[in-house]
Structure 1
Amino acid sequence: MAPSVDDSSWVRRKKGFLSLGKDKEVEEIADSLSRYVQVLTLHQTVQTGEGSKSFSDPPPKYEPANLTLIPFDRNPHFVDREDVFKQIDESFKVKKGSQPKAALFGLGGIGKSQIALEYCFRRKERDPECSVFWVHAATLARFEETYKRIGIECGIIAQEEESQVDAVTLVQNWLEIRHDSRWLMVVDNIDDAEVFFKEPMRNKRTLSQCIPRTGKGSILFTTRSRDIAVDLILPMQPIPVPVLTKSEGAELLRSRVPGDHSKEHIVELLKELEYIPLAITQAAAFMSKRRKSIPQYLELYRKSDSARVRMLSYEFSDHGRQYNSMESVAKTWIISFESIRRGNPRSADLLSLMCYFDRHAIPAALLCRDDEDELDFDDAVAVLCAFSLVESDEAGASFDMHNLVQLATKLWLIDEKKGEEDKWASEALNSLARNFPAPLHHTTPEYWQRGSNFLPHAQLILAHPFKGQQDDLSLARAALLYSMARYLHWRGAVMEAKAKNEESLEIRERILGEKHPDTLRSMGQLAWMYPWISMEEESVHLGERCLKLRREVLGEDDPETIDCLSDLAMAYQMQEKLELAESMQRKAYEASKRVLGPEHLDTLNCLSHLASVLDDMGRYEEAEATMRKVISIKTRVLGEENSSIFSEMHNLAFNLEHQGKYKESEEVYRKTLVLKTKLYGKTHVETVLTLANLVLLLVNQMKWSDVAELSVWFDGEAELLQEKEKDNPRLRSAMHTLRRFSFRLPGYEPSESSDAGYSYDESEEELVAIPERTEDLMVEGSHSKLTRVA
């Protein structure tokens, strides 16, 4: 609707007004016309065999089919990655007319570009008529630069005109339309989706729009991101590049560090470097320059995290990398970190947070914020997984990191994000303090699963050297220590549990004061722990103080006050003040029954404690009836094989033995032993306690053959038991019993493994009886006794 000279002024104004909304269409038409002009110019140039500047220029000295435009020579240290090459060839098998495409993805430094480079040379050997081109796609500028080089080398544009023409479009059109022979193009380092798919070049088109599309040409992409790889070649599947195999890693190391190296040292180094090619090459460069042997390198590397970080930052010149660029593992991954930070800041935050947990099985619960949208969290994690920096389990419930990635991320935080190291360490501590399962009076399988999942991360963050002492961080530490202490006690690490509880109490009392409920919780838990490590006097003293403060702060009928009363009664029982213990336990039981109800597990625990006191007082029948009542109710409420019942069963067998009901006692012991072994394993303190009491019962009945059968129980477990005994007096006591009665029978020769490395005091005439609680899946109040040995 262009105005004509014959139109009146009013008609010309009307047509001009109506054309205002057509700017975009006009722009698109102009762009198309521009492309057509360039194509026509290209056709004219190629048809005459002349250059772009002058039709009188001589034609190129080579045929296009002979082109090999790769900016690197062949890597003499390349080790075969045959599986990957086979997958590339398979991906290139497409229907005639379709474009063969493949995409390699994997962790930075895993060898994607080296594989692509080697593939180019192998392809050229197999098919000499195939032209090969290499395009850098990390940035717009590098992409345009490599396209210009192709244009100049192929005679499509003259070097003096490179700044005046759209070289990218000319090269694309030439490969799509005029190049008659087969060709292979490697598009390397497509690591930023924003740059490749969205940012326009000077010709107003994106990089992705300028990739030649024709069945004559094959494209091999490399990227660190699986997500990008999927977008590049849909509906085909991208090819993951794995770490080197043990043999490939050894071959690479030997080619880089000639000499006579032991197989053991090579394997040690490869394990430390996680079979990552760039890390192996970097270590080789370091050893060559510093004249270090593999053992000397390992000694330096293992000194500390800071030493490993420094060595990961060691720069060297790597084959097939950017011109005149010194590389390092740290620098390579920092490129990924920065790309992630630009594209998804939450992903970068998660990566930073993960640095301060153990690198194995990091629970999603420790990473996801309370108010965070689940889809946002999943998207952020997916980015890290796509870059191969993090690996997820099938359910997405936990994540693993490469050790080297974790170290490099810490370096990134130290160098690039100064001041943020403690920020993320603090967030890790607070997350663990919130999520580590709090002490429960009636534990559940979920409690133990979460505790097992979180424990390695908690131990690591507690060792972090925080700068300064802030009260909020100290209180988070105290909360974590308090929860860990109970869990460790159940596991049997009672001395470690005591130390952590004492630190928790010290922090809370110093900052919050002795009357704060959190302080009283640490105080009460410590008083409860002391008797199990023969600290009855300390338990009574601290228990009396805690009970007085709880009555003052919480009131007489608060469940925590009642619980403290029951624990104090247990401490008196261990001092053999049985009448006082009975009176206090009855008060605790009646109060709990009134406040919580007769079948509440806290109430049943008080009743279980009372039965234990009655047994110690010699009131066996009354104790038996009480025990059976507790077992009956718990079985009905929790099920027959619930772990909280196992110690009740053990103590019932103990009581039946006192009454001379040996057959019934043995049956209950054996059933309990089977159940505990199934749940805890053979070397768990609870299992060992039941085994020890069963052996004592059999010895008293002179059943030597039965004892001999049980004497091989710990074959192959000596080393593990020795380690466990160091931190558990109750386990030591039980094992002492077993050594005296199980492994020194007439006519029985124990295997070397069954008693290897053990010793005991021959002069000791009596084992101290230490009431025991189960460690794992345990309900507070249950305890398995160990018989006195006269």
Structure 2
Amino acid sequence: MMSSTIQNISVHGGTGGPGGPGGNAGTGGGGGQGEGPHVTMVSESGVVNHMTFHNASVAFKDEVKTKNRKMCPLPVPSFTGRQEILDEIHQYFVQDLGSRKVFVLHGLGGSGKSQLAFKFVQQAQTSKRFSETYFVDATSEQTAESDLKLLPPATSEETAQEGLHWLASQQTEWLLVLDNADDPKLDISKFFPPSTSGNILITTRNPELCIHGADYKVSDMTLDDAKNLLLKLAKKKAIGDDKEQVAITIVKELHCFALAVTQAGGYIHACSSLNKYLELYKSSRDNLLQRAEVQGQGQYGLAVYATWDLSYQKLSAGSRTFLHICSQLHHQNIREEMFQKAALSEEELENPELQAIVNEMLTAIGGANQNWNSFIFLEIARELQSYSLIGQNIVDASYNVHPLIQYWSGTTISKGDMSKIVFTMIGLSVPWRFKLKDYTYRHSLIYHITQLFGRCKCDLDTYVADGIALVLFEAGHHEKAEVLRVAIVKRRKEELGNEHPDTLKAMANLAQTYHQQGRWSDAESLEVAVLEASKRVLGNEHPDTLKAMANLAQTYHQQGRWSDAESLEVAVLEARKRVLGSEHPDTLTSMASLAATYHQQGRWVAAESLNVAVFEASKRVLGSEHPGTLRVMANLAVTYHQQGRWSDAEGLEVARVRLGLGLGLGLGLGLGLGLGLGLGFRVRV
């Protein structure tokens, strides 16, 4: 075998030995054994080596084989920063000399894992940390075995196992680099030399390989490193502060992702300016990330999207579907619970075609039609994690996906309005119950909902829109909730009529949205209409009629119309005690509201009496950490405060804050007055 750099090889015999002494009548004896053949290798640059040996065939083969052994590539010339990662790898390999050490660099394709490995090898060669470095392309079993065959001398059998055994026999501090071990089906451990010594550095997209040793997750570059890399590649010298700020803006848009920054720098150098690139990126992001025109960057010449396409082609159908869904969500806090609740929902959508698509996609990732299989979902998540296309937060078992992966996966979608499909799934998952776990779950959806809201806020199934509006309302996004609730009222009136119970519920929800925005006149107008219609259609003591009466009382309360508020609240409280019982959540809401009115009238003793009763009942019925209980606790603390009972007030407030902070309620001293438990105003349309 020959190295591709060798142009000419000449082999010629050595000089024969001197002849024996001549006899009286004859010639001298035969010549002695020669020196052996001379081998001269000539490369493009001239003579590479000139040597003399006796066993020409073996030594020649060994020399050529050694030159064919794959060398570890150099890092790209533009390699920038990341010294803290290099230092961590170095510190690991200088410990416990003589024992086997394995270090795994894992992360998303294009994050810079291989370049970090190459840079580490370069630095280690300078410091002479390792006696020899051996490089193996672990892209597949075939490439790995091919490289391993070249490790031992020519006298050995040419097999991968022989190469591993030979390396294991070397009593030196060697380093074996296993690069691009991305295939989840590949057992990387079969390429470890069978010894208790030696050093192995692995680069992979598969975090499961971390079980073999120490590891580092290679993610985004630091902002400073990313900026410096961009400017180095763009070759924009002597730039001012304004240009540097543009560079920072660009790398932020690219999420400081190594391959994306590398491509941007090359593009800017070739045909653009910093400002022009930023403008192009905002209008043509996908086109730019699909380009691959960076010269002299080795593997970094591959486009960002093309890098991930390689993994995408290997994914199962379910994993592709889940990736498409994730492309529409916020990049963090993606939970199995969202899809499980949607699959278990008994609600039928108004659009049968949309229902079929939603069911098809939910089935692909775990189930639909009131069925769910967690095993299927977890296997899909595991497959995506094995390519580092998603990550997992082990603390709360939620998943996350890099924003650039979201952009890319969005380009692989063939279905229609994916935003609407995913928004529908979220809406189907919203529970219409008001226990602590329900509030907590709805709170977890807010970032996904705000992410999707601008894309399809008005073209939603009524039930879905109602659930989305509830989440927005509870999170304080009242203007967004209003947009949905106005549309729901309009649709209900058109489809069901002005006095249908579902229309009245929709009007009540919209009125509460106005209430929370301080639009008392708008709220009052709707609430009066709802109350009068409810009395006619449902009767004076129907639960929905009593809710309408309580809502109007709250609006009077906020307007300072204490007498009007009190008369309605007393009537509601007495009716709810008769119809629902003394400890029903709606009854407790009425007690809290009446207590708040007494408070505003300066009737401290009456307010305290009601608040104490509500507080004790709420703890029994709802639990100590329920948002409604915490609001009542705040109300009681304010009542104590107004009476000068500082110690009692402080004790309650400290307890409330300690409990409430974990829920992100943000309640302060006195907030919650006039809102009661907040249970009587949330009705499903």
Normalised to the residue count of structure 2, the TM-score between the two structures is 0.70
C-alpha change, 1:274 and 1:537, in structure 2 (3 Å) is: closer
| SS of structure 1 residue aligned to 2:136 | strand
Amino acid at match of 1:594: R
2:239 aligned with 1:254, yes or no?
A: no
Output aligned runs, 1:315-334, within 5 Å.
Answer: 315-317=292-294, 321=298, 326-334=301-309
Structure 2 match to 1:739: none
Q: Aligned partners of 2:585, 2:200: CA distance in 1, in Å?
A: 67
Deviation (angstroms), 1:546:
6.0
Q: Aligned partners of 1:94, 1:612: CA distance in 2, in Å?
A: 67
Amino acid at match of 2:407: L
C-alpha change, 1:637 and 1:154, in structure 2 (3 Å) is: same
Deviation (angstroms), 1:630:
1.9
2:298 aligned with 1:314, yes or no?
A: no
Of 504, 528, 533, which aligns to 1:548?
533
Structure 2 match to 1:454: 445
* Count of paired positions: 585
Structure 2 match to 1:422: 417
Amino acid at match of 1:332: T
Structure 1 match to 2:23: none
C-alpha change, 1:238 and 1:547, in structure 2 (3 Å) is: same
Amino acid at match of 1:631: N
Q: Aligned partners of 1:505, 1:308: CA distance in 2, in Å?
A: 39
Deviation (angstroms), 1:281:
0.5
Q: Aligned partners of 1:80, 1:605: CA distance in 2, in Å?
A: 59
Amino acid at match of 2:238: D
- Larger displacement relative to structure 2 (90-99 or 265-274): 90-99
2:226 aligned with 1:226, yes or no?
A: no
Structure 2 match to 1:111: 112
Deviation (angstroms), 1:583:
6.0
Q: Aligned partners of 2:558, 2:175: CA distance in 1, in Å?
A: 83
Output aligned runs, 1:392-431, within 5 Å.
Answer: 392-411=392-411, 413-414=412-413, 418-419=414-415, 422-423=417-418, 425-431=419-425
Deviation (angstroms), 1:191:
1.0
Q: Aligned partners of 1:84, 1:668: CA distance in 2, in Å?
A: 54
Give identity over the alignment, percent: 21
The C-alpha deviation readout for 1:440-477, integer Å capped at 9, x for no partner, is 5xxx66565444432221122222249x96xxx42244
Deviation (angstroms), 1:380:
4.1
Amino acid at match of 2:113: K
Amino acid at match of 1:223: T
C-alpha change, 1:629 and 1:600, in structure 2 (3 Å) is: farther
Deviation (angstroms), 1:549:
5.1
Q: Aligned partners of 1:346, 1:181: CA distance in 2, in Å?
A: 47
Amino acid at match of 2:287: R
The C-alpha deviation readout for 1:607-659, integer Å capped at 9, x for no partner, is 5555777899xxx69x6665344212113223699443367559969xxxxxx
Q: Aligned partners of 1:503, 1:673: CA distance in 2, in Å?
A: 45
Q: Aligned partners of 1:574, 1:168: CA distance in 2, in Å?
A: 81
Aligned partners of 1:481 and 1:501 also within 8 Å:
no
Deviation (angstroms), 1:547:
5.1
The C-alpha deviation readout for 1:399-438, integer Å capped at 9, x for no partner, is 4332222212222x33xxx11x634x34532342244464
Q: Aligned partners of 2:635, 2:191: CA distance in 1, in Å?
A: 75
The C-alpha deviation readout for 1:290-325, integer Å capped at 9, x for no partner, is 2212x332333345xxx3333222223465645xx9
Q: Aligned partners of 1:537, 1:226: CA distance in 2, in Å?
A: 56
Structure 2 match to 1:75: 76
The C-alpha deviation readout for 1:504-555, integer Å capped at 9, x for no partner, is 3234444566566544322222234445644537634554346535763x66
Q: Aligned partners of 2:373, 2:325: CA distance in 1, in Å?
A: 18
The C-alpha deviation readout for 1:742-777, integer Å capped at 9, x for no partner, is xxxxxxxxxxxxxxxxxxxxxxxxxxxxx97459x7
Amino acid at match of 1:637: A
| SS of structure 1 residue aligned to 2:417 | helix
| SS of structure 2 residue aligned to 1:110 | coil
2:467 aligned with 1:480, yes or no?
A: yes
Amino acid at match of 2:107: G
Structure 1 residue runs of 5 or longer lacking an equivalent are 1-46, 158-164, 198-206, 654-662, 691-770, 783-790
Q: Aligned partners of 2:251, 2:679: CA distance in 1, in Å?
A: 46
Output aligned runs, 1:210-609, within 5 Å.
Answer: 212-214=193-195, 218-230=199-211, 233=212, 236-258=213-235, 259-261=237-239, 262=241, 263-293=244-274, 295-303=275-283, 307-317=284-294, 321=298, 326-339=301-314, 341-342=315-316, 346-368=318-340, 370=344, 371-374=371-374, 377-385=377-385, 387-411=387-411, 413-414=412-413, 418-419=414-415, 422-423=417-418, 425-436=419-430, 438=432, 449-465=440-456, 473-484=460-471, 486-488=473-475, 491=476, 494-510=478-494, 518-530=502-514, 533-536=518-521, 539-540=524-525, 543-545=528-530, 548=533, 552=537, 557-568=541-552, 585-607=569-591
The C-alpha deviation readout for 1:556-612, integer Å capped at 9, x for no partner, is 544223212333455678899998876654443332111111233422433555577
Aligned partners of 1:156 and 1:170 also within 8 Å:
no
| SS of structure 2 residue aligned to 1:134 | strand
C-alpha change, 1:116 and 1:530, in structure 2 (3 Å) is: closer
| SS of structure 1 residue aligned to 2:178 | strand
2:609 aligned with 1:638, yes or no?
A: no
Structure 1 match to 2:13: none
The C-alpha deviation readout for 1:335-377, integer Å capped at 9, x for no partner, is 33444x24xx555443332222222334553244554455554
Aligned partners of 1:80 and 1:248 also within 8 Å:
yes
The C-alpha deviation readout for 1:180-225, integer Å capped at 9, x for no partner, is 877543221111121x23xxxxxxxxx7545543568643221111
Deviation (angstroms), 1:59:
4.3
Amino acid at match of 1:432: I
Q: Aligned partners of 1:595, 1:280: CA distance in 2, in Å?
A: 66
Deviation (angstroms), 1:274:
2.7
| SS of structure 2 residue aligned to 1:464 | helix
Q: Aligned partners of 1:130, 1:589: CA distance in 2, in Å?
A: 85
Aligned partners of 2:319 and 2:380 also within 8 Å:
yes
Normalised to the residue count of structure 1, the TM-score between the two structures is 0.62
Q: Aligned partners of 2:93, 2:124: CA distance in 1, in Å?
A: 12
Output aligned runs, 1:133-152, within 5 Å.
Answer: 133-143=134-144, 146=147, 150=150
Structure 2 match to 1:735: none
The C-alpha deviation readout for 1:14-70, integer Å capped at 9, x for no partner, is xxxxxxxxxxxxxxxxxxxxxxxxxxxxxxxxx99666xxx7x94444795x88622
Deviation (angstroms), 1:227:
0.1
Output aligned runs, 1:667-746, within 5 Å.
Answer: 671=649, 675=653
Deviation (angstroms), 1:483:
0.8
Q: Aligned partners of 2:643, 2:278: CA distance in 1, in Å?
A: 58
Structure 1 match to 2:40: none
Amino acid at match of 1:428: V
C-alpha change, 1:368 and 1:494, in structure 2 (3 Å) is: closer
The C-alpha deviation readout for 1:663-718, integer Å capped at 9, x for no partner, is 9567699959994995999xx9986988xxxxxxxxxxxxxxxxxxxxxxxxxxxx
What is the aligned-residue RMSD (CA, Å)?
A: 4.8
2:208 aligned with 1:186, yes or no?
A: no
Q: Aligned partners of 2:523, 2:98: CA distance in 1, in Å?
A: 86
Q: Aligned partners of 1:570, 1:241: CA distance in 2, in Å?
A: 54
Structure 2 residue runs of 5 or longer lacking an equivalent are 1-52, 345-370
The C-alpha deviation readout for 1:234-269, integer Å capped at 9, x for no partner, is xx3234334333443344233212212334334333
Amino acid at match of 2:461: S
Amino acid at match of 1:422: D
C-alpha change, 1:248 and 1:460, in structure 2 (3 Å) is: closer
